[in-house]
Amino acid sequence: MSRTDFDALVCFAQSLAPVKVRGQDLPRLWFFTDRARISDPTAVMRDLPSGSGVVLRDYVALNRADLAAELARLAQEQGLIFLVGEDAELARRVQAHGLHLPERSLERLRAARAAWPEALLTTSAHSRAALAAAHRAGADAAFLAPVFATASHPGAPSLGIDKLTTLLENAPLPVIALGGIDGTTVARLEGLPLAGIAAIGAMTP
């Protein structure tokens, strides 16, 4: 992706109304790591505006603990919110701000909340039922995906604007759009009641 894509996402995110979660602003711009597509996530993190969010998504990286520690340190230096995907123990060990759980792991969210009450807890969701389940389990926000066709899940059906709009109606928790969002598609999200946007490939500065 180009610098134009990155700048467009930053500009759009900053236009969204801030949403408070646990007494502080929820990040409006999120970067999900994927070293298969962006080999150096630290380069992206150094370019993100302060207050942005980062999720360590590389679930099967061999050196994941070391990577988590490195990204947690950099997030602290850069004023970013850092979540570790799936691994609550690792998230607490590196002093991350919280935990992200894929929808398939949503049943673990209640236990994570009980063990780590001050954490920022997010989940991914692909339907209205998943949004409701995330809310009941105590999630602070949900990443609704994939909004558009995405390289992360080639061939997976995307929600599209019409379904996204429907799912956002009376959503029980803050919703962040994820999947296929770049400098072109982000304009199609204008006017929707989103708490934020998230991307992988378009974050290349």
d(CA 88, CA 25): 22
| Cα 162 from chain centre | 21
* pLDDT of 159: 96
Q: What is the pTM of this model?
A: 0.95
Q: Does domain 3-203 have CATH number 3.40.367.20?
A: no
The predicted structure's pLDDT at residue 151? 75
Q: Which residue ranges make up each domain of the chain? A: 3-203
Residues 65-115 have pLDDT tens digits of 999 999 999 999 999 999 999 999 999 999 999 999 999 999 999 999 999
pLDDT of res. 205: 66
**Please, what's the b/e burial string for 139-167 (b: 16 or more CB within 10 A of its CB; e: otherwise)?**
bbbbbbbbbbebebeeeeebbeeeebeeb
The span from the CA of 159 to the CA of 136, in Å, is 23
State residue 51's pLDDT score: 98
Structure confidence at residue 36 (pLDDT): 87
Which residue reads 């673990």 in tokens? Answer: 108
In the chain, the amino acid numbered 60 is: V
Enumerate residue ranges in the chain where pLDDT < 70. 1-2, 153, 155, 205
Estimate to the nearest angstrom the gap between the alpha carbon of 74 and the chain centroid.
17
The predicted pLDDT at position 60 comes to 83
